[in-house]
Structure 1
Amino acid sequence: MQQCHQSGDRRGRKTPDHADFEQADGRLTLVATDLEIQLRTSVDVQMHAPGATTVNARKLADIVKSASQDAKIALRQTDGWLEIDIGTGVFRLASIEAESFPQMTIDAATQSTVSITQKNLYALIDKTQFSMAQQDVRYFLNGLLLEVKPGQMTAVATDGHRLAYAHLSDERLTENNRQVIVPRKMVSEMLKALDRDSDNEVSLAFRDNQIELLIGENYLISKLIDGKYPDYARVIPQANSKILIVSKTELKQVLQRASILSNERFSGAYFHLSPGRLMIESSNAEHESSKETMSVGYDSGNLKISFNINYLLNILAVIESEEVCMELEAPESSVLIKPVMTGDIDSKYVLMPMKL
């Protein structure tokens, strides 16, 4: 019920915030959509007669959540109303005929399907989604690239200033080469629906211009972004020669303190690197400043380079390894950031320096 409420959208809808309910053959099926993304889920119920109606999903979800955990909930449909009996009380919601509820047009033919564990799909998305662009005129950057090849799946996101890459090798992935760009809202809904710790498998179905995620009885389907994603491999540095090894925890703490006195608009900080030493410096328009030094693994020449603090913190938040490797080259060159120790998911991040 909560998932159906979250998948609705007010804009341009004849039935804003509503969900469609249909009882048939001992099953209750719920559908919510904004015509770009649609959720369909079914549960077993005891029913007296088939029927269908449309009600406000948010109100119904709030009513159901307020009931005790062991409550038996009964739904009764009358002319223009849906009654919800939670045992201790009866609630009466206005309803609309099911025929008025708009639904997405679903492409008939599924072109291909892949299976993947919930935790691996969650990790691929979670480690990359923060780098998606927002409302960029290059519309293909406003989504997440999913690339499937035999034995592997890759997720990529970039906004032109940073790039996030995550790769999974899994021999159970038998799909031939396919690239799709998943819209931001579908990415968000997938993260909500997936269990980050579950080894249970889910299915991803690909159609002409749609992607569908199947988790048990939950079907989440979305339109895809129509466009060609840029060649991400070309922007991943291959020959940066200056290697910095740093504690993730310590670097996060220093960056968080540096952000206090950084420019509120640009949130930048200088990295001053010398053998065995990193000094992070920030300042703002009021001429307030901070300088903090930490011991690091670095044996190359002196280097001064500046970064967006928030972008760095976003990257550190999804790296699981305690030690982080940063491969640098020059003040104007992009840096490659990756965990020192990797698990099932191989991740790496490209960050462009700032001009302060």
Structure 2
Amino acid sequence: MQKLKLVYRETNWWWPLLYGVGGAVLTAVVLMVDLYAKELFPNDWKTTLGLAQTIHSAVFTGLLTMMTFTFSTILVVLTTYSSQFSPRTLPNFIENRQVQHIFGIFIGTVTYSITMLFFMRSSLKDSVVASAVAVIVVLIAVIAFVAFVHIVSQSIRVTTLLDRLHEEGCTLIEEHVEAINGGQYQLVPENRSTYSFGLTALQTGYLQAIDYELLMKSGERVAIEVTIGSYVTQGQRIGSAEKENVEQGILVGPTRSAEQDFAFVIQKLSEVALRAISPGINDPNTARHAMRQIGDLFRRYTMLLDGNLLVNGEGSVTVKRLAFSELLYLTFYQLRHYGEEDISVLSTMLESLEIMKRNALPEHRASIDRFIPFVCSEVDWSALNDWDRQHLEQAQKRALS
């Protein structure tokens, strides 16, 4: 089930294909009406065969041009995402269902027009529904095009991307918390459980997700010794199980997926911030906004205990999780290095740490307090002017309070 869900999320041609099939089905329905039910419609709906052919020819030509423009715009947006934000954020636009539906409407309309134009014969004499339907689908396509322009204009804004990444991370945490409150998930102390049969990776790539239902379908107990999102090689030991041949429930692919990987969402936010403070872009305010979003996600995450994830059902699956202190370090160690000369970036990093502590468990608060001096450890305080030094000292004091 989890594999199908992952394929559905990462498959970008599914909805456009369905709309294309829908356009062909619409052609069949309209032809049947024109051949056998034309008398049910008023004479105002009827057009000559020549006019109907002209209308469908114009619709096909216009929609084909609109599709070309749409495709070119999508490529521009993808280039912007890759160069300005991060290559890892490309799926956040490609997997946007609104864009897929709009592109599907264009494909369905073109399919209807070209197939209807092909099947128009002199035997139809008067076209009853075909021309009217052509006008209706064109109007729908125009509305979809306007919506597409709006979506692209919003998607190209970095704040929209950051908000979507933040929402993606919040959804993952909420699902996690609900499963824990419902008793499906438990957080247990880290202890290496070893069963009779070893689990090995079937291919080289990233551990994208785990299909818990498939692993537990026969009551097996399984222990995964690597974290979701880890890079594994073919034949590498990644865990153990009570029975053989259960690796099909462990999904490994060429890229990381945010389906169950909270750390990957954090990484994408960090990469946007890193790209923003690079000399080529030099947009520290975007980096500051991204770090505040990271702080809010961690604020929700720090309410969870450290430890392995135990999933109970007919059997049980234990999955290794990153310790909070390790995840904290992996999130900020590059930002700290490349932003050490920008006081605004350092102070916002401290602000982000302050946000994390608001709902944090005591052990996580202690980890954050130990991490705060690390953020400013490479700052040459003697080289700072009085205003910068005072601003950074106050930010550090607030974070430690």
> TM-score with structure 1 length normalisation?
0.23
Of Structure 1 and Structure 2, the greater helix share is in 2
